[in-house]
Chain A
Amino acid sequence: MSASQSSAPLPEAMSVTLTINGETRQLDVLPWTVLLDLLRDHLGLTGTKKGCDHGQCGACTVIVDGRRINSCMAFAVMKDGARITTIEGLAQGGDLHPLQQAFIDHDAFQCGYCTPGQICSGVALIEEGRARTRDEIRELMSGNICRCGAYTNIVDAIEQVIGADGEAGR
């Protein structure tokens, strides 16, 4: 803390309402609480991972109001009223999300640390409907780094789900 702040009153926690994985919760958060830290440290939702903490790796990707974002680059207080989906919210009952199953089918991870972010990003990518080719999947998954280098299998997994959706849509 710098001396210049000593005279300012300490800001207080603010009440925000967040719907996380379908459950609406009222939470008191300090202004500087980052969404990623709120999920992991305050709510125990440790599926979302802290990788670089600077918006460069995508391990912290969650889906906010239908859009994938880096939760490390968002203050929780700014998301008042938002609907948030994390990796913990993708399975329905005992059934994995099709992309979760596809990651298992294609062995699309090694150490697994980037996987929750990869899957949340991939789920949003599929919803966006802009990726059809492998080149497009690769480019639109470029915000998720995998240091084990499982990229080929990750693209395979996403392609499987996009292909299945395409079949269903015909």
Chain B
Amino acid sequence: MNRFSYLRASSVDEAVREAAADPTVRFIAGGTNLIDLMKYNVERPERLIDITRLPLDRIAETDGGGLRIGALVTNDAAAYDPRIKDRYPLLSSAILAGASPQLRNAATTGGNLLQRTRCYYFYDPGTPCNKREPGTGCPAITGRNRIHAILGTSEHCIATHPSDMAVALAALEAMVHVAGPDGERAIPISDFHRLPGDRPEIDTNLRHGEIITAVELPPADFSRHYTYLKLRDRLSYAFALVSVAVALRMEGDAVAEARLALGGVAHKPWRDPEAEALLHGRPATRDRFIAVADHILKDAKGHEDNAFKIDLARRAIVRALSQAAAGTPQSQTDKRIK
């Protein structure tokens, strides 16, 4: 690991000011991804700004009836918060589907959004990688690509975003609040992460020196018809091959509103509003669910090792919609898929 200097920030203003002046700075909170990347020499910050003492560790009601989750609220605290479990169980479920209790105790809400891909090549400085070293190429496209993306890829990068939490936040249409050198702004979660295009080294639309201060959940009633279905190589403590977050509002047997986001398949949580619209006002039937899945995956592109994900995603979407419509969300404990 490289040597670095260390500053413990005592205010958001100080953290932003110090970071803005120095392009080699990284903020650190839970550290569960950044320290790992530093151990692999993927990240080599010359200065770390410790933001763990900033007053961003609370979950508060918003005026509009939603919740504002401070950026430093740990994944554990968010997942088990009674308000989140009661009103946003999709988010609680997705968080508990990810990582381990130890990691969730350290990892934060803001850091979870900013974690980097687990692409094998990105993690290995002995190989080229357009995300790690722009312009060097993407060995994943012709190499081992079992865990890689099938939607929204480019000729420069086929990495996926690894977060489970972010997939649920995408379905819940959360807002990401940030503070930076130019003041505060709010970024819809759908605009927070980006597709790789020809700049795969840029994961998000966060600007240098900006810090996430909170994630806001708008008021919503998806607490009965939801699911987070995560499929992976082992039942716990593994990243998703495919995951599906579904939030439905039902009126009788018909779907009044549908939100659906996919994880493990793209450079960002994947939403497809046109596909969701196929459900609006329609009976929740298997045929409809298949039509939704086909629409979402119509432009999916597989590579040598990950082509199976297209069929897996199709089945996962249908199953997740069935679970949500029936009000029988996926268990994150026994993992039996019903």
Task: Select one of B32, B105, B333 contacting A139, CB under 8 A.
Answer: B333
Q: Are B52 and A74 in contact (CB under 8 A)?
A: no
- Please measure, in the bound complex, the distance between the C-alpha atom of A136 and the C-alpha atom of B332, giving whole angstroms: 9
Fill in one digit per residue for A142-164: 1 if any B CB lies within 8 Å of its CB, else 0. 11100000000000000000000
- Residue in B closest to A136 when the chains form the complex, CB atoms: B333
Q: Are A78 and B52 in contact (CB under 8 A)?
A: yes
Q: Which residues of A contact B6 (CB under 8 A)?
A: 11, 14, 31, 75, 77
Interface residues of A in 1-34 (CB under 8 A from B): 1-2, 4-5, 8-11, 14, 30-32, 34
Interface residues of A in 119-147 (CB under 8 A from B): 121, 124-125, 128, 130, 133, 135-136, 138-140, 142-144
Q: Which residues of A contact B216 (CB under 8 A)?
A: none
Q: Are B236 and A69 in contact (CB under 8 A)?
A: no
Task: Select one of A5, A30, A144 contacting B2, CB under 8 A.
Answer: A5
Q: Are A31 and B48 in contact (CB under 8 A)?
A: yes
Q: Are B106 and A1 in contact (CB under 8 A)?
A: no
Q: Does B76 contact A (CB under 8 A)?
A: yes
A70 in contact with B50 given A11-B4, A32-B3 (CB within 8 Å) = no
Q: Are A11 and B103 in contact (CB under 8 A)?
A: no
Q: Does B328 contact A (CB under 8 A)?
A: no
A73 in contact with B103 given A67-B76, A139-B333 (CB within 8 Å) = yes
Contact-size category for A: 35 or more
A53 in contact with B76 given A58-B102, A69-B102 (CB within 8 Å) = no
Interface residues of A in 96-113 (CB under 8 A from B): none
- Residue in B closest to A70 when the chains form the complex, CB atoms: B102
Q: Does B31 contact A (CB under 8 A)?
A: yes
Q: Does B101 contact A (CB under 8 A)?
A: yes
A68 in contact with B105 given A31-B48, A135-B333 (CB within 8 Å) = yes
Interface residues of B in 30-82 (CB under 8 A from A): 31-32, 35-36, 39, 44, 46, 48, 50, 52, 76, 80
Q: Which of B28, B39, B335 has the most CB of A within 10 A?
A: B39
Q: Are A121 and B101 in contact (CB under 8 A)?
A: yes
Q: State how many angstroms separate the Cβ of A2 from the closest Cβ of chain B.
A: 7
Contact-size category for B: 20 to 34
A74 in contact with B5 given A67-B105, A142-B237 (CB within 8 Å) = no
A143 in contact with B334 given A67-B76, A78-B52 (CB within 8 Å) = no
Q: Are A34 and B102 in contact (CB under 8 A)?
A: no
* A–B complex contacts, Cβ < 8 Å, 29 sampled: A1-B3, A2-B44, A5-B46, A8-B5, A9-B5, A30-B3, A31-B48, A32-B1, A32-B3, A55-B102, A56-B237, A58-B100, A67-B76, A68-B102, A68-B105, A73-B32, A73-B106, A74-B35, A77-B50, A78-B50, A78-B52, A124-B101, A125-B101, A133-B333, A138-B236, A142-B236, A143-B101, A143-B237, A144-B100
Q: Could you list which residues of chain B lie within 8 angstroms of chain A, going by C-beta atoms?
A: 1-6, 8, 28, 31-32, 35-36, 39, 44, 46, 48, 50, 52, 76, 80, 99-103, 105-106, 236-237, 332-335
User: A8-B5, A73-B31, A124-B101 provided; 11 other pairs, C-beta below 8 A?
Assistant: A32-B1, A32-B4, A56-B237, A69-B106, A72-B35, A74-B35, A77-B6, A78-B50, A140-B101, A142-B236, A143-B103
